[in-house]
C-alpha cells in the first residue's frame, strides 16, 4: 500500500524555513542573542535525550519525549533569562512561561510513562508514525538510515529553536502592565485548546481500559473521538493558535534596531509572518508529517471499520457525523471513497437452456422410460433408422410380434450401433 502524496502545505512549510532564519538573522540584538543562547540549550537537550538514545536503539520515539520537554525548557529558559531585571516581572511573563511549562510537562510526562511502562518498546518496533516516515522515504527513492533519522530529530529541535519560542519571548519582555483584550482572548484560546487535548486523551485512555468485548468498535469512537478522528491534535493546534494570538500586541510593541538598515515596521511584518507560520506548521505537522496521516495509514489496514470511520468523521476539526461517501465538513477535505452499497443480483439469461439435475434416489424420466420399454425392443435394433425390430426377426427369435397398428414406446434412436446378447426363451 503506497503512502499518500504530499500536499501543497508541505512545500509551503519547507519553503518558509529560510524566511524564518532570515528574520532572526536581521532581528534586533536582544532577540538574536536570546535565539542563539536558547538554540544552544535546545540542541544540547535533544542530543542527549533523543539523538544518542536513537543511535543505540535504532528507533525514533525518543523525540516524542524530547520535543514536549523542550517546550517546558522554553518556559524555564525565558523565565530565567528575563529574571535578571525586575522590569520584566509582569503578569504577562508569569502567564506565558506558566503556559509553556504546563503545556510541555503534560505531554512529556505522558511520553515518559509510555517508555517506563514498556508501552513504547524499542525492542519490538518504532512508533507507527516513524514507520510511516520510513515507507515514505523509501517510496520516494531514498534510503532510511541513521543519518535520516538524526535529521528528522534535529528538525523538531529546530522548530523549538526558531519559531515556537517566539510567543514566549515576545510576551515575557513586554513591560506593559495591563493585558489587552487580544491577549486575554489568546490566553483563553490556549486554555480551551489545552483542555480539549487533555479531555480527548482522557477519553482515549478510558477506551483503552475498556475490555475488548465491551467496545463498540476496534478503534476509539467515543466522546470527542465521535466528532473528530484526532481531537487531541485539534486541541494542540488550538492551543498554539492561542499562544500566537497572545503575542500579537507584544510583537507590535517590540522595538529595537534591525540589521542592515531595515525599518522596524518591515521587521514586524517578518515577525507577524513567523507567528502565522506557527499555525501553518503545527497544522501540517499534526495532520501530515507525524500526526493523522501516518497514524491512519496503519489504522485503515489493521482496524475493522476504520475506512467507514474515515468517510463519516472529520480528520482534525470536530464536525457532525456524515453519511458514508459524503463531504465531511470542518476540515475542508473531501473524504476518500464512496458509499458502499450491496452489489446487484446477477441477472439470469432466459435464452440459455436450463437443465435440471435429478435428485438423489430418483430416476430421470429418460431412465424410467427406458426401463418401461420391452426387453426385445431395447436389445435388437439400434441402427438409428427405426426403434421397432422387423416382424421376421421377432418371429425368428421366438417372440410374438405386436399388431401392425400398435405403437411401441421406446427411447430416442441413437446413431451408434450397440449389440447386446439376447436371452431367448427356452
The 3-class SS string of 69-80 reads HHHHHHHHHHHH
pLDDT recorded at residue 340: 41
Average pLDDT score, the chain: 83
Cell of 124: 519490538
Q: What sign does the dihedral 167-168-170-176 (CA atoms) show?
A: positive
CB 232 within 8 A of CB 295: no
pLDDT of residue 8: 83
Task: Tell me if 203 sits within 8 A of 224, measured CB to CB.
Answer: yes
Closest CA to 5 of 152, 142, 157, 139: 139
Q: Phi-psi category of 179—alpha, beta or left, where left has phi over 0 and alpha has psi -120 to 50?
A: beta
**For position 312, what pLDDT does the model report?**
94
For residues 15 and 405, what is the distance between their CA atoms, to the nearest angstrom? 106
pLDDT of residue 338: 39
CA atoms 366, 372, 375, 381: torsion sign: negative
Q: Which residues pair with 228 in a beta bridge?
A: 314
Write out the three cell numbers for 271. Answer: 515577525
- pTM for this structure? 0.75
What confidence score (pLDDT) does residue 372 get? 55
pLDDT at residue 331, rounded to an integer: 45
**Which residue shows C-alpha cell 426377426?**
393
Residues of the chain with pLDDT under 70: 324-426
pLDDT of residue 278: 95
Amino acid at each position: 500500500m503506497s503512502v499518500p502524496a504530499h500536499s501543497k502545505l508541505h512545500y509551503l512549510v519547507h519553503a518558509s524555513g529560510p524566511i524564518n532564519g532570515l528574520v532572526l538573522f536581521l532581528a534586533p540584538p536582544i532577540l538574536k542573542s536570546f535565539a542563539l543562547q536558547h538554540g544552544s540549550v535546545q540542541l544540547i537537550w535533544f542530543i542527549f535525550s533523543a539523538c544518542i538514545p536513537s543511535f543505540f536503539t535504532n528507533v525514533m520515539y525518543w523525540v516524542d519525549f524530547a520535543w514536549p520537554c523542550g517546550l517546558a525548557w522554553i518556559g524555564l529558559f525565558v523565565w530565567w533569562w528575563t529574571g535578571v531585571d525586575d522590569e520584566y516581572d509582569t503578569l504577562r511573563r508569569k502567564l506565558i512561561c506558566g503556559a509553556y511549562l504546563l503545556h510541555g510537562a503534560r505531554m512529556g510526562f505522558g511520553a515518559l510513562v509510555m517508555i517506563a511502562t514498556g508501552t513504547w518498546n524499542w525492542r519490538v518496533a518504532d512508533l507507527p508514525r516513524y514507520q510511516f516516515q520510513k515507507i515514505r522515504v523509501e517510496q520516494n527513492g531514498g534510503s532510511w538510515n541513521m543519518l535520516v533519522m538524526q535529521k528528522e530529530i534535529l528538525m523538531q529541535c529546530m522548530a523549538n529553536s526558531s519559531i515556537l519560542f517566539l510567543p514566549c519571548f515576545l510576551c515575557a519582555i513586554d513591560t506593559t502592565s495591563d493585558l489587552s483584550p487580544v491577549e486575554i482572548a489568546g490566553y483563553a484560546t490556549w486554555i480551551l485548546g489545552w483542555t480539549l487535548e487533555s479531555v480527548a486523551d482522557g477519553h482515549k485512555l478510558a477506551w483503552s481500559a475498556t475490555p475488548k468485548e465491551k467496545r463498540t468498535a476496534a478503534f476509539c469512537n467515543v466522546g470527542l473521538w465521535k466528532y473528530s478522528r484526532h481531537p487531541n491534535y485539534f486541541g494542540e493546534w488550538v492551543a498554539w493558535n492561542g499562544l500566537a494570538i497572545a503575542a500579537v500586541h507584544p510583537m507590535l510593541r517590540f522595538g529595537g534596531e534591525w540589521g542592515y538598515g531595515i525599518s522596524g515596521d518591515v521587521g514586524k511584518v517578518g515577525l507577524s509572518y513567523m507567528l502565522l507560520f506557527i499555525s501553518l506548521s503545527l497544522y501540517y505537522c499534526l495532520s501530515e508529517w507525524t500526526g493523522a496521516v501516518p497514524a491512519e495509514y496503519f489504522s485503515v489496514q489493521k482496524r475493522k471499520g476504520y475506512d467507514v470511520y474515515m468517510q463519516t468523521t472529520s480528520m482534525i476539526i470536530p464536525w457532525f457525523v456524515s453519511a458514508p461517501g459524503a463531504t465531511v465538513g470542518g476540515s475542508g477535505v473531501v473524504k476518500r471513497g464512496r458509499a458502499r452499497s450491496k452489489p446487484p443480483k446477477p441477472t439470469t439469461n432466459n435464452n440459455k437452456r436450463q437443465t435440471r439435475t435429478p435428485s438423489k434416489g430418483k430416476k430421470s424420466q429418460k431412465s424410467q422410460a427406458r426401463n418401461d420399454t420391452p426387453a426385445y425392443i431395447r436389445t435388437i435394433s439400434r441402427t438409428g433408422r427405426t426403434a421397432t425390430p422387423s416382424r421376421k426377426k421377432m418371429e425368428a427369435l421366438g417372440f410374438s410380434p405386436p399388431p401392425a397398428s400398435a405403437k411401441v414406446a421406446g427411447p430416442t434412436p441413437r446413431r451408434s450401433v450397440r449389440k447386446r446378447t439376447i436371452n431367448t426363451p427356452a
